[in-house]
């Protein structure tokens, strides 16, 4: 989508024809400067489709951000679209590449559809933000019954 305000917000598939190369280059320039110079960033959560991980732009963002030594956690989304074996294989391949080229980055499988990896993501993001993960997820209390 595109929203005109004081800033331009663009969310698109960089590999598609939806974004012009001019817009893509301009956006990548802004993103590069932001990731390399914004000291207030305490970490990066990079979201990748498990079926198409580590695209050229993904690697560029890792190249721009990791030299600062801040944590990076990668969510391999849409894990529900693959068999367990295929998803596990993709996770292992991405993990191996990260260990070799981007040590210190963490990665996990994630599915918003079936909740796979939600708690792990909460822990990783909480660690970046120095906050404790939610504990109410597993111990949801029923509302009190009238008279109790």
Q: What is the pLDDT of residues 18-46, one digit of tens each?
A: 567 787 788 888 889 988 998 888 899 99
Band of pLDDT at residue 135, cut at 50, 70 and 90: low
| Assigned token pair, 76 | 């391999």
Phi, psi of 52 (to 5 degrees): -140, 60
What percent of the chain has a predicted confidence (pLDDT) above 90? Answer: 57
Residue 67 is predicted with a pLDDT of 94
Cβ atoms 58, 30 nearer than 8 A:
no
What does the pLDDT look like over 2-17, one tens digit per residue? 444 444 434 445 555 5
What tokens does 25 get?
A: 């280059």
- What does the alpha-carbon distance between residue 91 and residue 77 come to, in Å, rounded to a whole number? 11
Name residues whose C-beta falls within 8 Å of residue 143's C-beta, 6 or more positions apart in sequence: none
pLDDT at 6: 46
pLDDT 10s digits, 81-119: 999 999 999 999 999 999 999 999 999 999 999 999 999
* Residue 10: per-residue pLDDT: 42
The whole-angstrom separation of Cα 74 and Cα 12 is 19
């Amino acid at each position: 989508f595109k929203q005109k305000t004081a800033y331009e917000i663009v969310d698109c598939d960089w590999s598609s024809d939806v974004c012009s190369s001019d817009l893509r280059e301009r956006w990548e320039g802004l993103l590069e400067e932001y990731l390399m110079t914004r000291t207030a960033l305490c970490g990066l959560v990079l979201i990748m489709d498990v079926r198409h991980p580590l695209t050229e732009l993904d690697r560029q963002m890792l190249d721009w951000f990791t030299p600062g030594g801040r944590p990076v956690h990668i969510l391999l989304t849409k894990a529900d679209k693959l068999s367990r074996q295929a998803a596990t294989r993709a996770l292992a391949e991405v993990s191996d590449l990260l260990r070799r080229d981007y040590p210190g980055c963490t990665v996990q499988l994630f599915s918003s559809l079936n909740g796979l990896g939600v708690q792990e993501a909460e822990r990783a993001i909480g660690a970046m933000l120095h906050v404790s993960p939610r504990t109410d997820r597993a111990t949801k209390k029923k509302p009190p019954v009238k008279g109790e």
